[in-house]
Structure 1
Amino acid sequence: MVWLFAIATGLIVANLYYAQTLIGPISRATGLEPGAAGLIVTLTQIGYVLGLLFIVPLGDLVENRRLILIALLATAVALLAASVASSAIVFLLAALAIGIGSVAAQVVVPFAAHLSRPETRGKTVGKVMSGLLMGIMLARPVASLVADALSWHAIFVLSAVITAGVALVLRARLPERQPQAGMHYFELLSSMWHLLKTTPILRRRAAYQACMFGAFSVFWTCVSLELTGPYFQISQSGVAIFALVGVTGAIASPIAGHRADQGKSRSTTAIALTLGALAFALPLLIHSNRLIDLGVLVVASIILDMGVSANLVTGQRAIFALPAEIRSRLNGLYMALFFMGGAIGSSLGAWMFAAHDWTGVLCTGLAFPLIALAIFATE
């Protein structure tokens, strides 16, 4: 079941990131201005935030398996709409809908926590989140390779078919989970504000991950533009290989989860945030020839992904230690808050790249983990 959860969450969340390395061809095909190209990623993330706030809490109210099925089938329809979009407004609306439906992954993750034993919950969540992070990281190279071989439209058609397949497999394999009915939907939503006010660990962990995910979005939204630009002159297949190397950063997830189970959350957090800052400091400080600069970017991508994944799992381990009856709402709030950081990062990154080139992007990215470290210093 852990393998099923990991693969399913990875395939679902990948839908949010197929467009990340394709913002160049998509914006050209739909007539989107270069300075606004970041909206392709930003609107998907905004949709995800909306889904986290208004759909994921339903995991504490309605039968989880049915909720997952409906969300995934809606996502498949939105992916098909994106594949045939020829105008910016149609594609952006489809991107918003893809983000909303893909929150099914965040109904699956608390499901895994619910089925696992308390003493191994961090390790289990770490394994599931490894699958989720592999989906995020593999989405970029897969999208680039498919776009190179066929077109950018093809990846959305392929993903629609896969998403519908995942929906049917989960419908068949997941056990029924009917939460105890204790409140109505609007009471559920209003309780989230109360949870946010009265759960300091949630606020702190969300702040750390919002900064880390903002840095992650800045880097991955803009690095394909830099790699395919006049300095590196790399093809979409080359971008795919670059993104594929970054996938190795996902190995940090189960390690971080295991350390959190051992009570080492604080030191793991410090390491993760430092890795995030180092990922942007290295390319800012090291300038040489094109080959060395590319090698530095590869190293930066790996340590950034390691920092983001380690911090994410450490935060979720802390949140899932709280009572089971509020777990879906806590997870929805946690993910929504840090995805807001991601949306800010992707929109800022594209604007900075258009206005101040790659150096501006690196400075912007560095600011995010430095803010997180400043907050961490008050813990």
Structure 2
Amino acid sequence: MPNSEQPKQLSKTLVLLMAVSCGLGIANLYYNQPLLADIGRTFGADDQQSGLVSMLTQIGFAVGLFIFIPFGDILEKRKLITVLLLSVGVALISLSVAQNLTWVYIASFMVGLTTVTPQIIVPFVAELAPPNERGKAIGNVMSGLLIGILLARTVAGFIGDLFSWRAMFGFAAAMMFGLAYVLHRYLPVSQPIMKLSYSGLIRSIGQLIASQPTLRESALIGAFVFGSFSAFWTTLTFFLEGPNYQYGSSAAGLFGLVGIVGAATASLIGRLADRVSPKYMIGLMSMVVLIAYLSFWLLETRLWGLFIGVVLLDLGYQGVHVSNQTRIYSLLPNARSRLNTVYMVSSFLGGSIGSACGTIAWQRWGWLGTCAIGGVMATAAFLIWLGHRLIHPRREVQ
């Protein structure tokens, strides 16, 4: 039986620590993107083979979400976070010393599998925050998470140019070991809110999917939007190294700095989600992602056009993501980790599909193919949102 929620203190300092932790944690998934060409050159791989590194990392993350995130409802969260951070540190060391492409593939999958602490921290924040400030708290932490995603590319690009891609993953491993110590010392102890066996916990996930239409809608929209987001970032390095620009990996990383403009809006979006129904924000932000791809397509040879598109893409993705999470965390307080499991597994399966399709489209049709894949996925997300509004025009959806 679920325990009643106990009010806890969520200070500004703790929110900042959790935001920074999410950013550092999630960055492990994205260090490889500006380094794909360098990794490929090391092992004599083509663009499509190199692109599999990003896809396998995201697939590993989706599997890790399904395996580990439900534990957040039945285990003490601080210990769970510490163990996972130590595990991803070991996986990153393995990746940094990889001797062949198969080794890189396996280590990348293991990095994704163990890089799930941010998705334990986000429901933890929702648990600690007062209901009337939940969207704001989630938005603040999500700002840290998305800034981590974007800065990961910048940092990896520069370290890859200055040293090597191996040095980047060794540095990341050291950060994970340090972060494990800090969070173990400063995070509050969180008692489990459910008493279930792991098998019962997993079975209950299927029951949540069947009984919660808002969860199903959010999961599908999240999958398509993150797929659209991933298609761009996976192929950007190849595009920038092509004849239009002829830039190196550090230039691809610099685009992460541009995207911080979009990431910085997460706190504002979270506040709006506390005051305005997040279902409307989702439709609007899905359209912003589509407009970003129109900018990429129409202004592909103009650097300022790419800058505008990156800001719009990150703004739209962040808006959809924060609004979706605000919706689902309000459904069943005692099942937040499992709700987050469904949502995030769907999102990252969509992200891995977007990475794979984006890479294939780039190989066959160039930048136009990448824009087509991203635009189609963004359109699908908007149509799911619109279809639900048309089918259930009078139903109030959170």
User: Normalization by structure 2: what TM-score?
Assistant: 0.92
Choose from 320, 331, 340 the match for 2:329: 320
SS at match of 2:347: helix
Give the superposition deviation at 1:44: 0.7
Partner of 1:306: 315
Q: Is the 8 A contact 1:37 1:350 kept in 2?
A: no
Q: Which residue of 2 aligns with 1:161?
A: 174
The separation in 1 between residues aligned to 2:194 and 2:264, in whole angstroms, is: 38
The amino acid across from 1:75 in the alignment is V
Q: Which residue is 1:347 aligned to?
A: 356
Partner of residue 87 from structure 1, selected from 80, 100, 114: 100
Q: Matches of residues 57-76 of structure 1 in structure 2 within 5 Å?
A: 57-76=70-89
Query: Who is 1:221 aligned against?
Result: 234
What is the Cα deviation at residue 181 of structure 1? 4.3
Question: Which residue of the partner structure matches residue 374 of structure 2?
Answer: 365
Partner residue, 1:49: 62
| Sequence identity (%) | 37
Shift of 1:267: 2.6
1:377 equivalent among 366, 386, 392: 386
Counterpart CA distance in 2 for 1:96 and 1:143 is 18
**1:136 counterpart residue number:** 149
Aligned-partner Cα distance in 2 for 1:308–1:180: 31
Match for residue 25 of structure 1? 38
SS for the counterpart of 2:265 is helix
Give, in angstroms, the shift of residue 229 of structure 1: 1.2
The 8 Å contact of residues 130 and 251 in structure 1, kept in 2 or not, is answered as yes
Secondary structure of the structure 2 residue equivalent to 1:37 = helix
CA contact (8 A) 1:280 1:300 kept: yes
How big is the shift at 1:27?
1.8
Cα deviations by residue, 1:285-344 (Å, 9 ceiling, x for unpaired): 346xx4xx2111111011000000011000010111122210101011111101111000
**Residue type matched to 1:84 in 2?**
V
TM superposition score normalised by structure 1: 0.96
Counterpart secondary structure, 2:116: helix
Distance, in Å, in 1 between the alignment partners of 2:380 and 2:120 is: 30
**Aligned equivalents of 1:59, 1:179: Cα separation in 2:** 7
1:115 paired with 2:102, answer no
Structure 2: how far apart are the matches of 1:110 and 1:63? 13
Match of 1:11 among 19, 24, 30: 24
Q: Write the mapping of 1:253-264 to structure 2, written as runs, cut at 5 A.
A: 253-264=266-277
Contact 1:144 1:240 in 2 (8 A): yes
Partners of 2:205 and 2:291 lie apart in 1 by 35
Q: Deviations over 1:151-209 (max 9, x none)?
A: 11111011000011111100000111121442100110111111111111111111111
Indicate conservation of the 8 Å contact 1:31/1:87, yes or no. no
Matched residue, 1:188: 201
Secondary structure of the corresponding residue to residue 327 of structure 2: helix
1:2 pairs with 2:15: yes
Q: How does 1:193-212 map to 2 (within 5 A)?
A: 193-212=206-225
Matched, 1:297 2:297: no
Q: Offset of 1:30 from its aligned partner? A: 2.8
Alignment size in residue pairs: 375
Which structure 1 residue ranges, 4+ long, deviate > 4 Å from structure 2? Answer: none
Q: What CA distance in whole angstroms lies between the structure 2 residues aligned with 1:64 and 1:203?
A: 26
Unaligned runs of 5+ in 1: none
Cα distance between partner residues in 1 of 2:154 and 2:298: 27
Structure 2 residues not aligned, in runs of 5+: 1-13, 390-398
- Corresponding residue for residue 282 of structure 1: 295
